[in-house]
Structure 1
Amino acid sequence: MRGSRLPTCATLLHASLSKSGLLTDGPPLGPQLTTYGTDRCLPRKDDTLSALALSLRQSCDTSSPHTPSNTRIGVVTAQFGDPEPHYAKALQTHHLHSMIHSTELHVMCSPMIDDLWNKPAFILALLLDEMLKPESKRLEWIFWVDRDTIILDQCRPISSFLPPVPKDDPGMKTEIKTHMIVTKDFNGLNNGIFAMRVGHWSINLLMDILAFRDYKPDVQLIFTEQSAMELVMKEAKFAPHVQYVPQEWFNAYPHGSAEEYETREDEEGLERFHVRRGDFLVHFAGVGERGREMLEWVRVARRVGNVWEGGRVLRDLKREIEGFWERLKVERGRVAD
C-alpha cells in the first residue's frame, strides 16, 4: 500500500506544481537565479554584484587552494513572505557565489504545503523536474541551504565537499555510492545544509519523509520534518548511502561577534563547530536577535572579501576533506572484501 501510494502522491504533487506555475522559471533577475512563485522575497537588484563576482573570481583563481569543478550543482533555498533585510542580504551572498562558480540558484518564494514540510516538498518537485531532462543536462547534486546562512568563503566551490569519482570506476558500479551528505550538532541531525545526489534514491527518500507523519502519526517529531528525515535515513534501504561529515565543513555556527571573526588571530576558546576565517559559511541556527547579527556578519563578510588573498586563514579544511573521502574509500573496500 505504501509503495503504490507514495509515487502517486509525488506524481500528483509534481502535476499540481506545474499547473500552478510553481515549476516555471521566474524573471531573469540575475545570472543562474530562478524563482518559484512570487519574486517578492528577493533582495533589490544590486548592480555591483556582477562586477564583484568577476573581481572575486579572478582573485580566487590566483590565491585560493580550491579547484574549480564542472559538476552540475543546484543550490536550493526558500524565502517566504515580504523580504526581511537580513534574509535578503544573506541570500545575496549565495547569489554572488552562484555567479562566481556558475552554479544554479533555485529560490522558493511561495509555500506549497504547511510549515517546514515545504523543504522536502520543494526539493522533491525540483528532483522530479530534473529527472525529465536528459542525464547529460540534468543537475548532478542539489545543495540545500536554510535562509539563515551566509557564505563567508566565496572562493570555495560546493563540489569540494562531494565524494570524488573513483578514477578506476567512473560509473561507480562497485562502490557503495554516497547519495546524501549531512551533518549533526548537539541535537542530532541538522538539515539546515546538506547535499543530495540527483536520482531515484533521493526521490524515494523525500517521498518517505513527506509521508512519514501520515503513516506513523504516533511518532513524536520534535523537529518536524528534520526529525522525520533523521528517522527515515536510518532505515536499511537508505542508511548505507547517507554520509555524516564533520559539522565544520559547511554548517559552522557563530561564536562571538562578526568583528571577532574578522580580527581574531588564534583559535583559543573555539570549538570545532565554531566558525572561523577559512570556513565556507556560517549558520545562525537558534541565534537570538538574528536580524541584527546577520546584517553585521554580511557587512563583515563583504569587507573581508577573499579570505585567502591576505593569508589570514585560521582553518583550511582542504586536506581534511580529501583525507576523509580517501579513508572512507579504504574502509568500504575492506567491507566489500
Structure 2
Amino acid sequence: MTISEQMYLAAASRPLRGTLLLLLFLGSYYFGNPFSATPAVPGKPTKEDGTSWTSWVADSEQAKSPASNSSLKLNELHENGPRIRQATMIYETDKFNSVYERAVDSHLRHGERWNNPTHILRHDIVDAGFFNKPAFLLGIVINEMAKPYGKRADWLVYVAWAVAGLPRWFDADTVLLNNEVSWSLFLPPPEFNEINFLATKDQNGFNAGMFFIRICEWSVNMLSEVVSLRQFKPTLELPFYDQSAMLWAIERPGYEEHAVYQPHNWWNSFGVQGQPMPTDRFLLHFAGVDCCGGPESKGTIMTRWLDKMDINPDEYSTPLDDLTLPAEVKEFWSNLITARKTMETADQWSMDNKYEGNDLKAARVELRQTMMSEADDFAKINAGVKRMENIMSDASKRVDGDR
C-alpha cells in the first residue's frame, strides 16, 4: 500500500468526545487514586477490519490467548518483536502545509518499513488547544485496550508535527532520517516491564514533543488525568500547557516509578540550524526553530533538510550494525539494571546486619530519584551506584569491627 493510500483518522473525533465526557466524570477518582496496573500482555498483529482507527496493519497469524500462556513474559507472544503504532497531529498549517506534509511522509515511509500503523489527527477534538494531543492519544490507547488479548498494540509513539495558531515555540515538527532504525530499539528490556513511559528533555526539562507510551491501564489513567486537569485543578499553573500537565502527572507517586528519560539525541535531536548534522542521527526535531529571532524560518530550514533527503536518501540511512546507537541503548539499560541490583543488595545487607545508618538510606533515595528523573545522565547513575557501594563497604568494615 502506498503512502497516498494511508487512511487518516479524522473520523475518530466523534467517539472520542463521548469517551472524554465519561473520563471527565470519573476524573476525580483518578486524582485521589492513581495506580499502576500490570502492562497488558501483547499479542501478534492481525489484519484490521477497515476501521478509521488505523492506516494499515501487517498480516500475521492469530496469537494464542494469554489465558493459556500466563507464564509467558511480556512480548513473547510476538515472533517479530513488540507491536508499535505512531501518532501525530497536523492541521491548520497553510503557512508551511506542503513542508509539513513532506515531514509526515518521512514518518509514513518509516512506518511502512517497520509495519507500524500511523494515526493522524487533522482537526480539533475538543476546544482546548494543546490538550487535543492527550485527548487524541487517550482515544487511541482506549481503542487498543478494548481489543482482545493478542490483537492489541504494545506501544504508541507520539511524534510532534504541526498545528498552527499556537505559540510558535510549540509549533514543533520532526523529520525522520534513518529508516534502518526501528522504534523497538529503544523499548525497555524484560527486566523493566514496569516502565510505561519513555521521554526526553530539552533546555526546559521534560519535552512532550515526542515520547513512547505503553498500551496499558496505567496509560489510560495518566492521560485521563492530563485531559481533565484543567477542569479539576483550574488554578494550577501550566506554563507549557499540555506539556506541563503531563509532567505534573508523571511526577506523581504511582506514575513516577514507571517513567524514564532517555538521551534526547537518540530519537529527539535538537539544534538543527547548524550544518552539517552528524550522519548517525535517527530523527530531527525542529522545536523552537524561528521562535527567537533566528535568521531563517522553520519552513526554510525544514525544506533544506527534506530536499537533502530527497536528493541523497542514503546519506543518513546507516545500517544498524554500523551505528553506535545499539551499544548506547544497551549501556543505558545495563546501567539501570546495575543501579536496581545495587539498591536491592543494600536493602538486603541492611536487613541482615540490622544497619540503620542514614548515609546509606540517603544514598539510596538519591539513586532512586536519579533513575526516575535523570536516567539519561549515564555518569550520574554510575556515580550514584559507586557512592552506595562505597558506603556499604565502609559500613561493612565497621559492622565487622563491632563483632
- Aligned partner of 1:260 in structure 2 is 276
- Aligned partner of 1:119 in structure 2 is 133
Residue 138 in structure 1 maps to residue 152 in structure 2: yes
CA contact (8 A) 2:272 2:284 kept: no
Cα distance in 2 between the residues matched to 1:318 and 1:8? 42
Cα 1:70/1:118, change in 2 over 3 Å: same
Cα distance in 1 between the residues matched to 2:158 and 2:134? 10
Cα 1:295/1:189, change in 2 over 3 Å: same
State the structure with bigger RCO (CA 8 A, min sep 6), 1 or 2: 1
Residue 105 in structure 1 maps to residue 105 in structure 2: no
- Aligned partner of 2:251 in structure 1 is 234
* Rg larger in structure: 2
CA displacement 1:58-109 (0-9 Å, x = unmatched): xxxxxxxxxx953100000011136601110000000000111111111111
CA displacement 1:302-334 (0-9 Å, x = unmatched): 3332346779x9973221111101221222233
- Aligned partner of 2:183 in structure 1 is 158
Opposite residue 213 of structure 1, the aligned amino acid is R
Bigger share in helix: 2
Cα distance in 2 between the residues matched to 1:286 and 1:85? 19
CA contact (8 A) 1:75 1:143 kept: yes
- Aligned partner of 1:194 in structure 2 is 211
- Aligned partner of 1:290 in structure 2 is 298
Secondary structure at 1:260 match in 2: coil
In structure 2, the gaps of 5 or more residues are 1-18, 28-49, 59-78, 162-172, 291-296, 346-403
- Aligned partner of 2:87 in structure 1 is 76
TM-score by structure 2 length? 0.60
- Aligned partner of 2:329 in structure 1 is 321
Aligned residues: 264
Cα distance in 1 between the residues matched to 2:102 and 2:312? 16
CA contact (8 A) 2:206 2:247 kept: yes
- Aligned partner of 1:64 in structure 2 is none
Cα distance in 1 between the residues matched to 2:213 and 2:199? 9
CA contact (8 A) 2:180 2:318 kept: no
Secondary structure at 2:276 match in 1: helix
- Aligned partner of 2:393 in structure 1 is none
Opposite residue 124 of structure 1, the aligned amino acid is L
Secondary structure at 1:223 match in 2: coil
Cα distance in 2 between the residues matched to 1:97 and 1:87? 16
Cα distance in 2 between the residues matched to 1:27 and 1:241? 27
Deviation at 1:10, TM superposition (A): 5.9
Cα 1:72/1:315, change in 2 over 3 Å: closer
TM-score by structure 1 length? 0.71
Cα distance in 1 between the residues matched to 2:214 and 2:54? 27
Secondary structure at 1:76 match in 2: strand
- Aligned partner of 1:279 in structure 2 is 281
Cα distance in 1 between the residues matched to 2:322 and 2:286? 20
Cα distance in 2 between the residues matched to 1:95 and 1:7? 32
Residue 335 in structure 1 maps to residue 343 in structure 2: yes
CA contact (8 A) 1:69 1:159 kept: no
CA displacement 1:90-136 (0-9 Å, x = unmatched): 00000000111111111111210121101100000011110111121
CA contact (8 A) 2:273 2:301 kept: no
CA contact (8 A) 2:85 2:118 kept: yes
Cα distance in 2 between the residues matched to 1:225 and 1:309? 33
More off after superposition, 298-307 vs 212-221: 298-307
Residue 303 in structure 1 maps to residue 311 in structure 2: yes
CA displacement 1:134-183 (0-9 Å, x = unmatched): 121111000000111000111100000111224xxxxxxxx561100001
In structure 1, the gaps of 5 or more residues are 14-22, 34-67, 167-174, 262-275
Secondary structure at 1:297 match in 2: helix
Cα distance in 2 between the residues matched to 1:85 and 1:145? 18
Cα RMSD between the aligned structures? Answer: 3.0
Deviation at 1:222, TM superposition (A): 0.6
Cα 1:314/1:286, change in 2 over 3 Å: farther
Opposite residue 139 of structure 1, the aligned amino acid is A
CA contact (8 A) 1:278 1:314 kept: no
